[in-house]
């Protein structure tokens, strides 16, 4: 089975190359991997002590970040090597100071895995949430390198728990310890006879909770917002914007909107902007315009959204109206504001939990957007109560990083890393 898997991985290289001719993201995916192993050979010396983090994309980076920061503080003698699978994670975070080397993960062939593990020679490998690459896992096992999963999240429909998932279960069993988000994940693993599991929670709670302690001031937003109620629509996709635009166009003058599209493409932003009836302004235009006169501010920039939520009275978080995946609802929740999302969030336990507490509201059409937004805007007590619940939800679920770091400390003290 491993031979077949490796063969299919080699075959996929050709199809990825072809798709890169027509798709910019796939072009980055292919091009970015061409010289990865050579770069590692140049940057990591045989005598270096390293810890390897792997993240699928940007969301997993945010989950892994509290642990990376804690390791840099507690174990400065180790170089951190951070790999990404997706261009959307790598391209945004490739210059982050948190790691000593940030690169793409070469495709999961036997040869790539063997050379990568040999070059990086990690003392510990940390995979965030749900990235499982069999050849890499088998190679880590062969080299005697401990591997752990952090913020793990498992569902019944994953291949590990299906009759045909024998090969993937074999790869899963190479993991030395699992730190999972919830009881369901623990029970699924134990159903496979995997007992080295801790319910530590989601490290994103630690990440977003720390944001409150940062300087979140953005003077240009203060000038834009004034005394108005501010609705921040973060990481929106066209499906989200389609149900939001009628409400934005019908809103009263005392409501202002900040929209941060998930994809920063001038053409798509221009199409969205033309559908707005009121005065809109781009972040890139802020220095040459009267911010207070605009009703909609569009953030055509990456990296500001977390601070932007600091100014929100209500947040709409995108991704769940389509099938692209719900974005981080904890970022606005940590600021103590109610959260509105789309309809497809079954794979996101934190959203389901927050909804059960009546601090998150799901909408599936324009009418439902009008209904919940109008209530949140008009009823200050309701808005503040739901926001308080959201903030408490984040605060009461922190601590995953501490649990994981205690385990890493035990490995270190026992000479295992």
Q: List residues with catalytic annotation.
A: 60
Helix (H, G, I), strand (E, B) or coil at 412: helix
Contact of 64 with 152, CB cutoff 8 Å: no
Q: Would strands 314-317 and 339-341 be described as parallel, antiparallel, or unpaired? A: parallel
Tokens, residue 131: 């990235």
Residue 236 vs residues 16, 34, 105, 245, 358: alpha-carbon distances, Å: 27, 32, 28, 12, 22
Phi, psi for residue 235 in degrees, rounded to 5: 55, 50
Dist. CA 417–CA 201, nearest whole Å? 24
Contact of 314 with 244, CB cutoff 8 Å: no
Dist. CA 344–CA 230, nearest whole Å? 25
DSSP 291: G
Long-range CB contacts (within 8 A, 24+) of 36-42 = 36/103, 36/104, 36/105, 36/106, 37/106, 37/112, 37/115, 37/116, 37/119, 39/101, 39/103, 40/81, 40/101, 40/103, 40/116, 40/119, 40/120, 41/119
């Amino acid at each position: 089975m491993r031979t077949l898997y490796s063969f299919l991985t080699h075959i996929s290289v050709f199809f990825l190359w072809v798709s890169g001719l027509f798709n910019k993201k796939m072009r980055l995916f292919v091009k970015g991997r061409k010289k990865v192993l050579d770069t590692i050979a140049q940057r990591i010396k045989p005598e270096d002590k390293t810890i390897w983090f792997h993240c699928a994309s940007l969301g997993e980076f945010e989950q892994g970040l509290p642990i990376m920061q804690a390791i840099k503080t507690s174990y400065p003698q180790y170089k951190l090597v951070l790999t990404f699978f997706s261009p959307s994670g790598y391209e945004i975070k490739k210059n982050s100071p948190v790691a000593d080397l940030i690169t793409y993960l070469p495709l999961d062939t036997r040869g790539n895995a063997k050379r990568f593990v040999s070059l990086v020679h990690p003392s510990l490998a940390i995979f965030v949430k749900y990235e499982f690459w069999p050849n890499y896992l088998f190679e880590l096992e062969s080299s005697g390198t401990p591997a752990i999963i952090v913020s793990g999240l498992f569902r019944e429909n994953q291949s590990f728990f299906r009759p045909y998932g024998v090969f993937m279960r074999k790869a899963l069993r190479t993991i030395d310890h699992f730190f999972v988000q919830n009881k369901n994940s623990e029970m699924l693993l134990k159903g496979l006879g995997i007992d080295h599991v801790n319910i530590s929670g989601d490290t994103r709670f630690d990440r977003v909770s720390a944001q409150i302690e940062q300087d979140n001031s953005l003077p240009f937003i203060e000038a834009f917002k004034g005394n108005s109620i501010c609705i921040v629509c973060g990481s929106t996709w066209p499906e989200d914007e389609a149900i939001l635009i009628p409400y934005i166009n019908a809103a009263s003058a005392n409501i202002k909107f900040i929209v941060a599209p998930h994809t920063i493409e001038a053409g798509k932003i221009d199409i969205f902007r033309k559908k707005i009836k009121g005065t809109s302004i781009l972040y890139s235009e802020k220095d040459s315009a009267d911010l207070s006169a605009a009703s909609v501010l569009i953030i055509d920039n990456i990296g500001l959204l977390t601070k932007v939520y600091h100014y929100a009275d209500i947040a709409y978080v995108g991704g769940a109206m389509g099938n692209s995946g719900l974005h981080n609802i904890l970022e606005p929740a940590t600021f103590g504001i109610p959260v509105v999302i789309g309809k497809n969030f079954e794979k996101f336990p934190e959203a389901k939990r927050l909804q059960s507490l009546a601090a998150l509201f799901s909408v599936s059409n324009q009418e439902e957007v009008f209904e919940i937004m109008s209530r949140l805007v008009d009823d200050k007590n309701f808005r503040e109560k739901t926001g308080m619940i959201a903030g408490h939800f984040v605060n009461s679920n922190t601590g995953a990083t501490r649990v994981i770091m205690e385990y890493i400390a035990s490995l270190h003290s026992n000479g295992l890393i």
